[in-house]
Amino acid sequence: MVGLSVGEKHFIQGGIAQDLRSDGRKRLTYRPIYVETGVIPQAHGSARVRLGATDVIASVKAELGKPSALQPDKGKIAIYVDCSPTAAPMFEGRGGEELSTELSVALQRCLLGGKSGAGAGIDPTSLVVVEGKVCWDLYIDGLVISSDGNLLDALAAAIKAALSNTGIPKVDVAVETRSDEQPEVNISDEEFLQFDTSGIPVIVTLTKVGRHYIVDATSEEESQMSSAVSISVNRKGHICGLTKRGGVGLDPSIILDMISVAKHVSEQLINKLDSEIAAAEASEEES
Amino acid sequence: MGGNLIEALGFKVSSSSSLPFFCFTGGVTPKSSLCRVADNKEKMRGLKLPLSQTQRVRLQRAFEKLQSLSAKANSDASVTVADTIPVNYEDAFLKGYGTTDLNGELVATVCGVVERVNKLVYVRALRARYKPEVGDVVVGRVVEVAQKRWRLEINFSQDAVLMLSSMNMPDGIQRRRTALDELNMRSIFEENDIVCAEVRNFQHDGSLQLQARSQKYGKLEKGQLLIIDPYLVRKSKQHFHHLEQFGIDLILGRNGYIWIGEHVEARDSVVIDQAKSIEQSTVVEGINRAYTPLEMRQNICRIANAIRVLTILGFNIDLNLIMETVELSSSLKIDIHDMLGSEFHVLVAEMEAERRSLTTKRKR
């Protein structure tokens, strides 16, 4: 991270206080979002999202596995994020591990719900093939190629786009099997099932600088933050997850205010993202 | 023969004379003679903008117009790696940088433009680090305060050095620098400060030495720094621009660092007396009156966005072009943030094509 001089820091803080940031945005305006789907042909679904200079790729791979004994009617989903050294030199080797774990945990909390799978954005019961015996394991991987702030929002958007792009192959199960045997499955190459992604939430990160909050901070603005709250909101306006970063304590009334601001911002974001994903899928079909 | 070399290098060169390096240079520099683009789709993909079909067509037309107006319509000038350079082998010529002799033919080793100076034939790489010349105005960031000098980062392969003796002292008297001056260096420039200086000479190990003796050089505050590619800032007579109608200083550093900030009266490049230290402490307390006024901030943002648009389109940055872009955006009442949208990019390309065709018509 390049340092900032005192004069520059003052300029950034002044901009946020006066509702005019360095690139002309208002406090609650997102940078233009560009979505491309199908960037990794070997994966079942993939997407690349660019938010200003922040560039992330998400890919979804599905494998057949055995459901856990505690939840025989649910499939398994795992989310993991990796920060590539192309994003910043400090990510080389094990340098990016701390940030990767933080992002992975935040995404899991926001998208996967609780231990029993209740309240998850992605419904795990749709992943089961034969109850108790065979289910789909979804591995969602995120890769940060270039980092200019607001990684969490970009990754959540990429995961949503990748899941809409995912096609799970249809499975034919051999009917006559005894109950204690593994059933034979035939994975179809032709037919695919699409996910219903309307229930998947987006993440809105509010960064507090001085007395105001901004949405979609660049890395310069993030260096000035006192604290940041990432709120995951779905289409119905319900909160699916909440994460707070940064050392400065926040008054509870501020958190409630931030939640209502995030809910308001998320409506526009979800609509924008859905239209971008639809456009990306359409252009992918053309080419 | 050429094909084997290309495969060995792992490159795929399409059979048409398209320039694959457009994908990552991201634009056209119409002032140079880079005209040879057969595959316009490649060029469009280099611009990371979501363009609708009509916008794509308009942008293509503007670029084609600019290409046709380019002074040197020499389509053989641009080369990629492993391209043969057309040379008359009977004349004696000198092989310069970026070329190599392969099986009796002169072949390029970098992507760029062929330049010929008398008998010297060389390839000037396009996307390279900043190439300093003596007397260049550069803007840099202090990375280290060392013994009797500051080290500045200026987008060059090494850090530049600004000696304490190359700076004017606050009292204005020309005198020898004492040990006390050395101890007080941090009160002049600290780490991460932005400094404007001039290239004095090259040191024996290839690094730069800077000087900041004039009143116009020194620490830059109250503004923002933009980082662009160095090749877009050409050498001109004036690098310091004081925009009176906005009250804004614009400094075009030749190393690709551009400073846009509030106007500061030309003063001694070093101000470390008591008045300033008091002012800084009140600023730190965060009183609103120390912030830049809103109208000036809007102008700063507009100019910054204009420069961002011009770099995405690959045009050379000079004051006239920036001011025209700003006037275009204000006359069309485009919101400052919308300047970074695709529509405005297309409008700017069209405007530049229009302007260029008018000036060439006037010349004829």
The verdict on B141 touching A (C-beta cutoff 8 Å) is yes
> What tokens appear for B9 in the block?
């290098």
The shortest CB-CB distance from A5 to any of B50, B194, B340 is to B194
Give the count of Cβ contacts less than 8 A between chain A and B: 86
Q: A interface mutation test: which of B263, B301, B303, B307 has the most A CBs within 10 A?
A: B301
- Contact yes or no for A50 and B288 at CB 8 A: no
Q: Is residue A1 part of a domain?
A: no
Structure tokens at B47: 């611009």
Q: Does B200 touch chain A (CB under 8 A)?
A: no
pLDDT of residue A103: 92
Residue B273 has a pLDDT of 45
Model confidence over A45-89: pLDDT tens digits? 999 999 888 999 999 998 888 888 888 888 888 999 999 888 888
A246-268 pLDDT, tens digit per residue, is: 888 889 999 999 999 999 999 99
Asked whether B159 and B153 are in contact (CB, 8 A), the reply is yes
Q: B191, A3: Cβ pair inside 8 Å?
A: yes
Handedness of CA B305, B310, B313, B314 (dihedral sign): negative
Ordered per-residue pLDDT tens for chain B, 364 residues: 333 433 333 333 333 333 333 333 333 333 332 333 323 343 444 556 777 788 888 888 888 888 787 755 555 577 788 888 887 778 888 888 888 888 888 888 888 888 888 888 888 887 777 888 898 899 999 999 998 899 999 888 889 999 988 888 766 777 777 888 888 888 888 899 999 999 999 888 888 999 988 878 888 888 899 999 888 888 888 888 998 888 899 999 999 999 999 888 765 444 444 444 445 544 444 444 478 888 889 999 999 999 999 998 888 888 989 999 999 998 988 888 888 888 888 899 899 888 888 888 887 7
Q: Is B335 on the interface with A (CB under 8 A)?
A: yes
Check if the beta carbon of residue A277 is closer than 8 Å to that of residue B50: no
Point out the residue among B222, B224, B341 whose CB comes nearest to the CB of A32: B341
- As a whole number of angstroms, the distance between CA A257 and CA A242 comes to 14
The structure's pTM equals 0.81
B333 touching chain A per CB within 8 A: no
For residue B194, list chain A residues with Cβ-Cβ distance below 8 A. 5, 7-8
CB A104 within 8 A of CB A194: no
State the residue for tokens 């006559």: A176
Report if residue A192 sits inside a domain: yes
Q: pLDDT value at position A256?
A: 92
**β-strand partners of A241:** A232
pLDDT of residue A196: 76
Closest CA to A35 of A56, A5, A15: A56
Whole-number pLDDT of residue B37: 32
Looking at the domain assignment, is residue A42 inside a domain?
yes
Residue A282 resides in a domain: yes
Helix (H) or strand (E) run with residue A221 in it: helix A219-222
Contact between A84 and A155 (Cβ < 8 Å): no
**Does the beta-carbon distance from A7 to B302 stay under 8 Å?**
no
| For A50, nearest residue in chain B (alpha carbons) | B48
Least Cα distance to A231 among A274, A269, A266 occurs for: A266
Closest CA to B315 of B229, B226, B227: B229
Domain assignment present for residue A210? The answer is yes
**pLDDT for A57:** 96
Judged by a CB distance cut-off of 8 A, whether residue B221 touches chain A is yes
Q: How far is A7 from chain B (nearest CA, A)?
A: 5
- Test A24 with B339 for CB contact under 8 angstroms: yes
Answer yes or no: do B194 and A26 touch at CB < 8 A: no
In a domain, A162, yes or no: yes
Are B252 and B246 within 8 A, CB to CB?
Answer: no
* pLDDT for the residue B45: 41
* Cβ atoms within 10 Å, residue A64: 14
Domain of A69, in residue numbers: 7-286
Divide the 287 residues of chain A into consecutive groups of 10 and give the mean pLDDT of each group: 83 90 89 90 92 92 86 85 87 86 89 68 77 86 92 94 88 67 69 78 91 90 90 88 86 91 92 90 81
Looking at residue A127, what is its pLDDT?
79
Residue A255 located in a structural domain: yes
Domain containing A164 — which CATH number?
3.30.230.70
Domain count, chain A: 1
**DSSP per-residue codes, B233-260:** S---S--EEEETTTTEEEEE-TTSEEEE
Contacts of B280 in chain A (CB under 8 A): 6
Q: How near does any CA of chain B get to the CA of A235, in Å?
A: 26
Q: Where are the beta strands (DSSP E) in B55-132?
A: 78-79, 94-95, 99-102, 105-108, 112-117, 120-125
Please tell me the predicted confidence (pLDDT) of residue A181: 61
Residues 21 through 40 of chain A touching chain B, CB cutoff 8 Å: 21-26, 29, 32, 34
Do the Cβ atoms of B353 and B66 come closer than 8 Å? yes
First vs last C-alpha separation in chain A: 38
* Chain A stretch 173-212, residues whose beta carbon is closer than 8 A to a beta carbon of chain B: 210
